[in-house]
Chains A and B, each alone.
Chain A
């Protein structure tokens, strides 16, 4: 792997930038691997990276039906935070935030992680009570979170309107200062480059069409559009398509796939210093380093794989944005798009073994999987390599729905998030 540094940049500048190499290979699939990861998004690439680096597995393939990071990794609004209510969740997401803090150094790739703070607005008395409860619960669990008055919130984010005459006035906010954003494409590319350097075969345009089983029922390999690949371990990390892949092994999942939309404005000069979220009126906004306002909407009502959603859903979000930030009323929107998110009944993910020996699944991240990428990749690799979950992901099983031990972030946030 060509090491990236200021020195390398200067040296290549002197030679007209003709010395840069491709960042990863495009190998032909081999006939057999120790482990196959299905899905070349951030989570799958991170899992492959950790399998190779931390768990001594060196024959690993990542199979991606499209292109790297072309699914939800490249479609999300890049918000990173760990201020979830329940201890299981805050441990899981903070495992990721800690890794985000050193990820650029780990990968030798600038993922542009920016701890600019995520501020969650409270608009009702109920919001205030719930968010203050979140603040205390987070602190007990070792996760930073603090309560701001409406005036303090405006000081932290000057474009915010806190007029009491608003339909949903801002009564205060919960602020996690360690939270922030990162460059989503760089996360996929950085993991791909680092994994490839350790010998992981990243195979794009290769859709899995079947899961092969041996006489005892254990995993024996995968059928793909580029031929049969033998393996004893399959890690499915396929986001919105998880139900389809697991269906190839005869498993029905507690998942439904919904469109989730986002949009960006025309680029403007830096005006927005942090991330602001409002669960109550469905607005999620930050400014990218290019200057675009990055805005997240809610999910559509119905399941779909169409990777687009209805205009009234984004309109609803833009109305909320214009109410909160009147300065943005004349901004033009440049692009909007949809991704397909797999949602569990309790809105918490699944990182677990399955009833089929050798088949593992990382799914159910719903509308907020990007933030967990470095942590989830590590935990999924641990689970695959050791055939047992890490203590952090041990509660995030499929069986929790059968056993009634759900991690009910849906109820905690009263919104898909």
Chain B
């Protein structure tokens, strides 16, 4: 089980959290202006890296807030976490 560093509450066990997928994928400002290829890139294509991965988590059974974290997907160790809206470290 992962030990996840919530930037609001500190390190807590994974059971308190929900995974929110890759971070930093901005919803297009005007989806109607996109063609099908661009829209499907937004919806479906993911970086899926082996190594550092910026991702969203929600501390569902804690403060309830979303935040971002960087985790190494090969070791599952967290590098850093930061609040929504803060600059990407």
Contacts and interface: CB of A to CB of B under 8 A. Distances in A.
B48 A401 contact: no
B15 A312 contact: yes
A132 interface: no
Given A304-B76, A305-B74, A241 B40 contact: no
Contacts of B48: 243-244, 253, 255-257, 303
A176 B2 CA distance: 38
A302 B37 contact: no
A301 B73 contact: no
A17 interface: no
A311 interface: yes
Interface in B14-50: 14-15, 18-19, 21, 36-37, 40-41, 43-50
A380 to B, nearest CB: 21
B47 A252 contact: yes
B57 to A, nearest CB: 8
A310 interface: yes
Contact of B36 (A243, A301, A402): A402
Interface residues of B, number: 26
A163 B42 CA distance: 48
B43 A401 contact: yes
B62 to A, nearest CB: 16
Contact of A252 (B2, B36, B45, B50): B45
B59 interface: no
A305 B76 CA distance: 8
B50 A345 contact: no
A253 B40 CA distance: 11
A403 interface: yes
Interface in A48-85: none
Interface string A277-310: 0000000000000000000000001111110001
A404 B76 CA distance: 34
A305 B73 contact: yes
The dominant DSSP class at the A interface is loop
Contact of A310 (B1, B40, B50, B73): B1
Nearest to A301: B19
A243 B48 CA distance: 6
Nearest to A255: B48
Contacts of A254: 40, 44-46
B40 A255 contact: no
Contact of B55 (A241, A302, A305, A403): A302
Interface in A335-356: 345
B70 interface: no
Given A252-B41, A402-B36, A302 B46 contact: no
A255 B46 contact: yes
Q: Which of B41, B43, B44, B48 has the most CB of A within 10 A?
A: B48
Contact of A302 (B19, B49, B75): B19
A244 B50 contact: yes
B19 A304 contact: no
A311 B40 contact: no
Nearest to A241: B50
A405 B7 CA distance: 41
Nearest to B4: A302
Given A244-B48, A401-B43, 5 more contacts: A241-B50, A252-B47, A253-B48, A254-B45, A254-B46
